[in-house]
Every structure is written in structure tokens, then in C-alpha cells.
Amino acid sequence: MPESAGRALRLGVVGPVGVGKSTLIGTLCRALGAELSLAVITNDIYTDEDARMLRSAGVLPVERIRAVETGACPHTAIRDDVTPNLMAVEDIEADFAPVDITIVESGGDNLTATFSPALVDAQIFILDVAGGGDVARKGGPGVERADLLVINKTDLAPYVHVDAEQMVADARAARGGLPVLPHSESDQDATGRLVQWVRTILDDHRHGRHVPRDPGPMAPHSHGDGTVHSHDGEHAPGGEHVHADGTRHSHS
């Protein structure tokens, strides 16, 4: 039985800007908060807006929702240097022990951002139909290999001229059997399936059956300010990082 089975399930929620990550986390908190001990960590670059939005929505006691202001690209904070996030996760789990599930929301990023398995045990990647029907076909590490892919805001499909069923079929083809869930916040059946998926992962985690999977690093890219991120390894070259067992490495 892995040591992680004795602590909270750490569940990442990631995907492009505005796809509905915070809304979906709110939905999960409402559905599970009465029977499970939940905590939420949000990531924003400069603000704590997502945490404030979830607190004001009243989905959990406000003190169970904390923000990490990353001050850097969201993918850096969930992949290359997870230390601030891992500390926030460990702190909130200690303060509200025992926590059943700690949900970590990534700042909205591009299609290729994924969580490091040093930070989360499982991750949900979200796309929405408004981002375009071809996005699922284009793939990427999160689309192809996250533990669950949600195709969100299916209620908007007719308005943005997207064939949601085709988008789901493309996603299934890209994922080799990993689950794909069409969802919108107004679709209670879909929300029921989402909640059931989380319950199953939690049960697998507790019984040592869940094996964290690394969707893989994002592709090399450069930023407007000229910085180049290679993402050729799990961590920034020379950057200190922390492993799931708490050991710190600094490659300097």
C-alpha cells in the first residue's frame, strides 16, 4: 500500500482560461462537501480571485479555500516548481485533518499545461465547446492522458456551431480508453457521473489501487518577454523541487 493512500486524495483541475474550472470545483464541493472533508487550493498569477469567487459562492466553509499567488506562469507552479503549492496543500491538510480530498485549481493556461505527479494524485483536464470543436482532435498531454477529460459547457454547443458529440468522439479516439465526460453545469446527469468518477478515484486511492499517472511535460515554448521554457524534464533546470515523499532536490 503506497504511503499516499493514508492521506487526502490530491485532485488537480487544469485547462485553458475560462473553461469552467472554478465552477466545476464549486459543483464538486456542493455535491460532496456534506459527506467528505474537502479543501481547495486555487492558483492565480497575481490575484486570489478564484478563491474569493468560490468563498463567496458558499460552496465550503471559507477557511477551507486558500489561494496560492504564483507570480509566474500557471504551468510553472503546477509542474516545474511545485513547492509553494505543495506547502499550501500540506498546510491545509494539517489544519483540517483528516481531509479526504484536496482539490487544486491551476491558473488558466494553454492546452499543454499539466500537473506534476509530485503535486497531485489525479487530474481532470477541461476543454469547453466554446474553445472550438477541433481542440480535442489536436490533442496534447492533458487532453490525451489526464485521468479524466471533461468536455464542458455542452449547453453552448448550438450557439458556437460545435458538434459536441463529434468533439467527444474525437477526444475518445485521442485517449485510448481513458474516460471522457461531456458536461455542463445545468446537466445534472453529467454532474452525477462526474461526482461518481471522483468517488471511484477516492476509493481506489484509499485502497492503494490508484496509480498516479504523469501526462507528460508541455512542449517547449517561449514567452512574450523572450524567456524560453524547455520543459524537457519534470523540473526547471537547476530549480529546487520536492518529491511526493517530501525530499527536496536542488540540482544546483
State the residues that interact with ligand GTP by CB under 6 A: 17-23, 50, 108, 152-153, 155-156, 184-185
Asked if omega into 98 is within 30° of 0 (cis), the reply is yes
Confirm if 214 and 231 have CB atoms less than 8 A apart: no
Q: Give the integer Cα–Cα distance in Å for 39 and 123.
A: 15
The nearer residue to ligand GTP, 17 or 87, going by C-beta atoms, is: 17
Cβ 80 to Mg ion, closest distance in Å?
21
The strand pair at 65-69 and 148-152 is best described as unpaired
The alpha carbon of residue 23 and the mean position of all alpha carbons in its chain are separated, in whole angstroms, by 13
Cβ 34 to ligand GTP, closest distance in Å?
22
Options 13-21, 118-126, 145-153, 175-183: segment touching Mg ion (CB under 5 A): 13-21
Which parts of 46-75 interact with Mg ion (CB under 5 A)? 50
How many Å is the maximal CA-CA distance in the chain?
53
Query: What residue 12 binds from Mg ion, ligand GTP, none (CB within 5 to 8 A, per partner kind)?
Result: none
Of all residues in the shown chain, the one whose CB is closest to ligand GTP is 108
From the list 21, 55, 64, 75, which residue makes contact with Mg ion (rule: CB under 5 A)?
21
Confirm if 121 and 10 have CB atoms less than 8 A apart: yes
Phi, psi (rounded to 5 degrees) for 153: 60, 45
Cβ 105 to ligand GTP, closest distance in Å?
7
Q: Which residues bind Mg ion (CB under 5 A)?
A: 21-22, 50
